[in-house]
Amino acid sequence: MSQVEEQKRAPVLDPVHRVSEIIFGLIMALTFTGTLSAATAAREEIRTMMFAALGCNLAWGLVDGVMYLVQTLTERTRNFTLMRRVRSAVRPQEAHAIIAESLPGRLATLISAQSLEEMRQGLVALPEPPLRGRLGWDDYVAAVGVFLVVVLTTFPLVVPFMVFQETAFAMRASNAVAVVTLFVAGYMLGRHSGGVAWRSGLVMVMIGLVLIGSTIALEGMAE
């Protein structure tokens, strides 16, 4: 396999991606547990809720895994296309413009013409890229990882309903698990970004609770 085909990519479960998937799965599961009534919910109703939450997250985990593969293939093909455009540019200035356009945000304004030229020369020195990107075994393994993150997020929330007979106590335990998970997710993002980790954890708890409440309220309006 050529050097171009062995291009490095960010790990699929980098902190931002991982936390986003965890929060998504958490919110999906809580839209089911949050609609239960602590006073009137029967065991059969709780059992139905657990299967519904698991089934929903199985479906969305599958969608997320497939869309990860689509995104990976699209980005890889786009990168090869940009590389060919740079290599076929008639003048170095044209190649510089192509490279600058591909850079995120305002990064292009911070890079000197000399740095752009070094990038151009590095791309020209690489082997000819393939016509389109291809998925490898590690991409499929990563897609399975995305699927598992979404699905496994459901289990900590439904375990209290499986362990405790008293519905009210099980709901409190499940909500406590949700709050702790949201805090940990925000803490991870804060540490990854270099911010104040505990503050990011608290902010994520507030954002998550608002999103969960809004989702449950919108579902109630639709009924």
What is the band of 66 on the pLDDT scale with cuts at 50, 70, 90?
Answer: very high
Assigned domain for 151 exists: yes
Structural domain including 133 reads 15-222
Full-model pTM: 0.72
Cβ neighbours of 96 (radius 10 Å)? 20
Q: Is residue 1's pLDDT more than 50? A: no
Assigned domain for 6 exists: no
Burial of 72 (0-12, 13-18, 19+ CB in 10 A): buried
Burial of 80 (0-12, 13-18, 19+ CB in 10 A): buried
The domain total for the chain is 1
Q: Which of 26-35, 66-75, 116-125, 158-167 has the lowest mean pLDDT?
A: 26-35
The reported pLDDT for the residue numbered 140 is: 92
More confident residue, 34 or 94: 94
Assigned domain for 38 exists: yes
Q: Which of 23-27, 47-51, 212-216 has the lowest mean pLDDT?
A: 212-216
Assigned domain for 164 exists: yes
Question: What sign does the dihedral 67-70-76-78 (CA atoms) show?
Answer: negative
Assigned domain for 10 exists: no
Assigned domain for 9 exists: no
What mean pLDDT comes out for the span 7-30? 70
The reported pLDDT for the residue numbered 219 is: 54
What mean pLDDT comes out for the span 197-219? 78
Assigned domain for 155 exists: yes
The DSSP call for residue 130 is P
Assigned domain for 1 exists: no
Q: Which of 88, 70, 81 minimizes the C-alpha distance to 130?
A: 81
What is the band of 220 on the pLDDT scale with cuts at 50, 70, 90?
Answer: low
What mean pLDDT comes out for the span 162-172? 79
